[in-house]
Amino acid sequence: MRLILNVVALLGLIAFPTFAFAQELALKRVMLSSGGLGYFEYEATVEGNATLKLTVSLDQVDDVLKSLVVYDDKGGVGGLSLPGREPLAQAFKDLPFDQHSLGSPAELLATLKGAEITVGGGRALAGRVVSVEEETVTLPGDKGTTKRTRVTLFTDRGLQQFILEDAENLQFADAALRAKIGQALLAIQGNRAKDARTLELATRGDGKRTVRVAYIVEAPVWKASYRLTLPADAAAPRSALQGWAVVENLSGQDWKDVELTLVSGRPVAFRQALYNAYYVTRPEVPVEVAGRLMPGVDRGGVDADQRAKSMPMPASPQYRAQQERSVAAPAAAPPPPPAPIAAGAEPIAASDAATQVVFKFPRAVSVENGRTLSIPIIDRQVPALRLALYQADTAARNPLAAIRLTNDGESGLPPGVITIYERDKAGYVAYVGDARLSGFPTGETRLLAYALDEKIVIERDVAQTDQLATGTIANGALRLSRVVRQTTTYRVRGPAKEPRQLIVVQRRLPGWTLSKPDSKGVELSEGNYRIPFQLPGGDQTQTFEVVQEQTQQQEVRLVESATDQIRVYAQAREFDAKTRDALSRVLQLQQAVAEAQRKMTQVDGERQQIVQEQARLRDNLARVPANSDLQRRYLATLDKQETELEAIAKRRGEAEKAVETAREALRTYVASLG
């Protein structure tokens, strides 16, 4: 069949030829998407050229213009037309008044000053409107005031006035003006109309044939809900799963014997206002006047284990035993299953497409507009393993009762809420909780938490350590590796009787690795580890540790480092003997540098003390009499101190040289280390 796409909105601008007949299209197929869209397909049998009429609601016109598609294997499409919907601003564009002027007769007359009118009533007048003024008058008997409108006309007899509220009728003399007022009122009425629009689709062809017309419009999201019934035997590998679809018909028309298909997916969808008129704003250019230059303005140009995938989690001992029994003794008859859930009257065909799951109803469906339809779409046995799921953020003391569900069917399952029932040994069924199912592709598993498991109690502690790992010396630096470990300890008191598999959800630290337990069998999910532990039952308390670690690199420049820091590293047992010996030698050379610096500092202290004493003596000399014994004593002391300063200067040079020699020895040794 040849596909002809037609998204042409002619809006009455093309004159179609006269066709053989016009008829309504009949709705035959409906496809609803969980993305909030609906595909509606119509059929009509035509012969020769024909006009097909399709009525849609006003808010669907944009989507119809965007997505309309026509299937005709023996003909073609001439075009599509429908009534236009101009904005009111466009309707009033060429009128001598605006929309607000139609708010009252006084406003209209005030806007149309100069218009010729005739006034009927007790006092007939004819003339052109000069002014419209509102005035306040007092009612007889002091009963208050009221407002009235005084209109002044220019007549053959001069200026005459009348009260607008007293006039029995008023008519504009200009027939063209009367027509414009009527046109404006019709535009306002048409803009307020929220009814449907009838589209006329022209088809051209020869002979009798079937034409199909389809489009995509907004539709209520169809919902999926599930019922999962757990068998009485907790070790049973499979449970009964039934899925229902809830569909609302809010399309504005009844669905009568239509082919209904449900699609679960997330398509990319847009909406565009194609039914509105748009105009391009043009820049205004001033009129050129002779003798004036107007040059343009130039604005320039312009996995949980450290491999890349997650490992499937191991099954419980009961599940493995059940599988081994089924393999070892294939001829043994399985125990009779419990009474199943009542299935749908007819199976629904489910299939996987590239990006979505499709459910097609086997028979035609009728749903009145405004009603809801709910019908089973899935009914099968699925692998279901009971376990306990611990999420500290959800419940700190107890895990959640959960089901590990595996989709081993031939199609995926849409997201929805699952109501979980449990059957006892006597065959009675009890409600145990609800769970949420995300989109469930075939071959994947989901953990469904539905209740609090108070048979298991968990205490949790978190501790962190930081220790050296390795150290090497190269290029004058000590390169350290430090291992930071975060240990989460779980103390778990298991159930009193039955064994249980426990799944612990542990937050994965970005950039850290899981060192305990072994990552085999651990899953990654949304930034969390899911770590399995086995609880044997019998009210035992077990301790489990989850350790994540990170190796951090650090570089220490040996020449500039503090002595105390080097002393710590020289004693670190995590380093090899060669590295520790080298650090010990560096420490000795650092101590030699420190001793030389201490001696130089001591010499500087002696010099500073003498300089301060000299300052005191010179200050005293300025105050004692000349040639006195005290003056001679001060001068003798100053002379002696000058001799001492000369000796100190010599010692200072020797100390400074010793410091440099010690530093050079340190630098030379560090450089020799590699």
The DSSP result for 476-491, as a single string, is TEEEEEEEEEEEEEEE
pLDDT digits 0-9 by tens, 483-519: 999 999 999 999 888 888 999 999 999 999 999 999 8
**pLDDT value for 352:** 74
pLDDT digits 0-9 by tens, 53-112: 888 888 888 899 999 999 988 888 888 888 776 656 767 877 888 888 888 899 999 999
Distance (Å, whole) CA 110 – CA 102: 11
**What are 53's two structure tokens?**
């009429």
The Cα-based distances of 604 to 601, 613, 644 in angstroms read 5, 14, 13
Q: What angle do CA 440, 445, 449 make, to 5 degrees?
A: 90
CA dihedral for 530, 531, 537, 540, sign (positive or negative):
negative
The parts of the chain modelled with pLDDT lower than 50 are 1-22, 290-303, 306-338
**What are 411's two structure tokens?**
């199609």
**What are 333's two structure tokens?**
């008859």
Helix, strand or coil, per DSSP, at residue 562: coil
Rg, C-alpha atoms of the chain: 48
AA letter at 504: V
Phi then psi for residue 592, to 5 deg, are -65, -40
The Cα-based distances of 541 to 22, 487, 536, 545 in angstroms read 82, 19, 10, 14
**pLDDT value for 258:** 93
Distance (Å, whole) CA 621 – CA 618: 5
The Cα-based distances of 344 to 262, 374, 383 in angstroms read 16, 11, 21
Core vs surface per residue 501-527: b (16+ CB within 10 A) or e: bbbbbbebeeeeebeebebebbbbeee
Distance (Å, whole) CA 157 – CA 153: 10
Distance (Å, whole) CA 115 – CA 130: 9
Is-above-0.85 flag for pTM? no
Distance (Å, whole) CA 150 – CA 133: 5
**pLDDT value for 17:** 33
